[in-house]
Structure 1
Amino acid sequence: MPLSAPASDTKGPQDDSPRVPKQAMLRGWQRRCPNCGKGAMMQGYLKVRETCPSCGTRLDQHRADDGPAYLTILIVGHVLAPVMLFLYAHWEPDPLLTALLLSLGCVAMSLWLLPRLKGALVGLQWAKRMHGFARSD
């Protein structure tokens, strides 16, 4: 007779289905549920829904914290720094105009990237079964 854990020791039904990190991150980048890819992950600009409206997957266990902001700063800095160096190496632009254009570019890129990177990070956490995503309650 096989040994099994008593019902009181289990923490809910286990979801043993394979989760593909690349697919989950791509769905998160699109701000969709990492499980089904249909329901919207975000309730607002950055607030993650408690559950997917389409498949019911719990999404509130994520621990994105400062990761998306850090990645946004990293990407924006690595894109705009060479642009700034190129501008000053090849032309002598007006400093005020340059500051205005680079500031607008920085803000626009940051606002566009931040929710997408947060979705991708939540998708990665879901795929790797991190922070409570292992259980399907």
Structure 2
Amino acid sequence: MRDGTVDFETEEEERPLGPALWRGWNRVCPRCGSGPMLRGYLTVRDNCPVCGESLHHQRADDGPAYLTILIVGHLMAPVILWAFVEFRPDPAILATIFGIGTVALSLFLLPRLKGAMVALQWAKRMHGFGSGSGRG
């Protein structure tokens, strides 16, 4: 408070990025770390059931899918090349093994990256997560 006016920047709670991203990766509320962020596989809840933080502001859209494709492609492409050169398996076996591995890794990463993206938006006060968003 300066000269009778309220300084909103100093009175807002601090939102450290690292813990928020870790909580998002674990698919829990970026604010309290207790309540589940997702309802189902990829649907973000409107509010945290524990602390009441509004989560409906999120705009993850296609970002988590793009990141999943980027990560899975960069991990699997060199491994499939190495496996083909080193072991020379039948192409059908190679496609089956790496097809299953690619789908499994994608299914593992997608909800975690969505949680991390929502947490990033929350920590950086993006898309309505700013000072006016609050709980409820």
TM-score normalised by length of structure 1: 0.89
Runs of 4+ aligned residues of structure 1 deviating over 2 Å after TM superposition are 1-4
* Residue aligning to 1:128: 124
Residue by residue over 1:45-67, the C-alpha shift from the partner in whole angstroms, topping out at 9 and shown as x without a partner, is 00000000000000010010110
The answer (yes or no) to whether the contact 2:84–2:94 under 8 Å persists in 1 is: no
* Residue aligning to 1:78: 74
Letter in 1 for 2:40: G
Letter in 2 for 1:44: G
Letter in 2 for 1:69: A
- Residues 3 and 123 (structure 1), Cα distance of their counterparts in 2 relative to 1, 3 Å cut: closer
Aligned length: 127
User: Which residues of 2 match residues 1-137 of structure 1 at below 5 A?
Assistant: 2=4, 16-134=12-130, 135=132, 136=134
Residue by residue over 1:35-89, the C-alpha shift from the partner in whole angstroms, topping out at 9 and shown as x without a partner, is 0000000011000000000000000100101100000000100110011110122
1:31 alignment partner, SS class = coil
Provide the identity percentage. 55
| CA root-mean-square deviation | 1.4
Structure 2, gaps ≥5 residues long? none
Alignment partners' CA distance in 1, 2:76 and 2:110: 16
Structure 1, gaps ≥5 residues long? 5-14
